[in-house]
């Protein structure tokens, strides 16, 4: 893979995720080769857009033929970096936290969840899922440092989110994925993504309201 010097649109990354997801579900045996036309059809993206997205990172196809399905999947995985195995923790073992703990695609996307934290004394010490034991939130710093955890996923209520983020940061975390509907603040050096389920709801509400008017 040769990353070109250009800046890559975030939308491109999002689409690459869609592509690789689809390719993963596709039987590579029955579809050894795929064209941007077909892939676009399935992912609801124009063929030109797909070719452009891929062209940011190199040339993966064969003119007149298409893309080798298996190879393309591997290339995109490499681009996205989901072949890694980031030591990950989930903070906040409510329903959402549990949902994420049980999603097996974490493993398939380069994350290995090794610890979980919660503030509820009744939960601490119990097993959350897959052999992961729930620890006290007050131990975050120490644990992150000792276990060299590089990703923290925040699924706490809004009130606790910033404090948790601070603890993760001072423990030496690398990246944070925040599901609490508030924009947490972290130093420049920390990679941060805020996932706002709330805003998805609001967006749907907006679209529906528009339709009615």
Question: Please, what is the minimum distance in Å from the beta carbon of residue 143 to its own copies?
Answer: 20
To its own copies, the closest distance from the beta carbon of 68 in angstroms equals: 21
Report the partner that residue 3 touches, choosing among DNA, its own copies, none (CB closer than 5 to 8 A by kind).
its own copies
Q: Kindly report the number of other CB atoms within 10 A of residue 109's CB atom.
A: 18
- Give me the least distance between CB of 137 and its own copies, in Å please: 19
The entry of its own copies, DNA, none near residue 65 (CB within 5 to 8 angstroms by kind) is DNA
Q: Which residues bind its own copies (CB under 8 A)?
A: 3, 10, 13-14, 16-18, 20-22, 25, 43-44, 79-82, 84, 86, 94-96, 98-100, 102-103, 105-106, 109-111, 150-151, 158, 174-175, 177, 181-183, 185, 191, 193, 195-211, 213
């Amino acid at each position: 893979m040769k990353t070109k010097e250009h800046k890559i649109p975030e939308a491109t990354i999002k689409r690459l995720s869609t592509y690789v997801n689809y390719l993963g579900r596709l039987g590579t045996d029955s579809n050894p080769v795929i064209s941007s036309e077909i892939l676009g059809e399935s992912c609801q993206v124009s063929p030109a857009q797909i070719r452009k997205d891929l062209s940011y990172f190199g040339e993966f196809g064969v003119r007149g033929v298409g893309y080798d399905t298996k190879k393309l999947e591997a290339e995109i995985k490499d681009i996205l970096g989901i072949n890694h195995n980031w030591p990950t923790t989930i903070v906040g073992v409510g329903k959402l936290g549990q949902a994420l703990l049980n999603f097996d695609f974490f493993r398939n996307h380069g994350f290995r969840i090794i610890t979980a934290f919660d503030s509820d004394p009744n939960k601490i010490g119990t097993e959350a899922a897959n052999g992961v034991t729930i620890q006290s939130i007050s131990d975050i710093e120490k644990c992150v440092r000792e276990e060299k955890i590089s990703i923290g996923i925040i699924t706490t209520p809004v009130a606790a989110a910033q404090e948790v983020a601070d603890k993760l940061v001072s423990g030496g975390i690398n990246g944070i994925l925040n599901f609490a509907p508030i924009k947490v603040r972290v130093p420049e050096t920390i990679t941060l993504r805020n996932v706002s389920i709330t805003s998805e709801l609001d967006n749907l509400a907006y679209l529906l309201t528009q339709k009615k008017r």
